Amino acid sequence: MLRKNRAKKPTKEINQILIVCGGQTEKIYFDLFAKKLKNVSVKTVNTHPNCDPMGVVQKAVKEKLNYKEIWAVFDYDNDKKFNEAIEKAEDQGIKCAYSNLAFEYWFLLHYKNISRAMNEQKLKTELGKKDCLDCEYKKDKDFIEFVYQKISSKTDTAENRAKIIHEENEKNNNNPSDWQSCTTVYMLSKYLREYRKATT
């Protein structure tokens, strides 16, 4: 049985946090996020291109003695070892911020409270609608920076929506690979923002 992935509340001690990202979109987003955190050292690293969930976790495990807090950020992407990667991370004391199906679902929750299953193309189409980003979704650095600026004021809303959807999935099924759509990125987002409050 998967144990609940719960992050400890931050304390006033200065922390050094490592965020291991499975994709470039995640790294760009959390690099921007970290710039707002003046009293905490946050480092983000990418694994090699198209790294699977287990590869992200393995990279995080290798670094765990060098940081006080490590998070592994990755997508499901129909990977057969998705659940196993989450279990391995929990066994090794690594926190997970995973998304089923893709990280872009976290972006969508800033605009809409949607929990139905969507493939990646439908997800991008939804993001591009007038009541969301109102433009074609792209994966390049400049566009992700544009997305960050657009959604940053709606983070509270996204966290609350993601938390409710995640907890509902936990009640009904113990396999995160079946939780589409769902994300635990809200845990990392909330942790970093609470840490900023704790150190001011």
According to DSSP, the residues that pair with 183 across neighbouring strands are 99
**What is the structure's pLDDT at 97?**
97
Which contacts qualify for 155-164: CB closer than 8 Å, 24 or more apart? 155/110, 155/189, 155/193, 157/109, 157/110, 158/106, 158/109, 158/110, 158/186, 158/189, 159/186, 159/189, 159/190, 161/109, 161/113, 162/106, 162/109, 162/186
What pLDDT is recorded for position 54?
94
Q: What is the pLDDT of residue 133?
A: 95
Write down the pLDDT at residue 124.
93
pLDDT of residue 49: 63
- Which residues are CB-contacts of 82 (< 8 A; sequence separation ≥ 6)? 53, 76, 98, 100, 176, 177
* Domain boundary assignment for the chain: 16-198
The reported pLDDT for the residue numbered 174 is: 81
Q: Per-block average pLDDT, block size 10, for the chain (200 residues)?
A: 54 70 93 80 75 92 90 92 95 96 96 93 94 94 96 96 95 89 96 71
Q: Counting beta carbons within 10 angstroms of the beta carbon of residue 64, is it exposed (0 to 12), middle (13 to 18) or buried (19 or more)?
A: middle
What is the structure's pLDDT at 96? 97
- pTM for this model (two decimals): 0.88
The per-residue pLDDT for 12 is 42
Would strands 95-100 and 182-183 be described as parallel, antiparallel, or unpaired? antiparallel
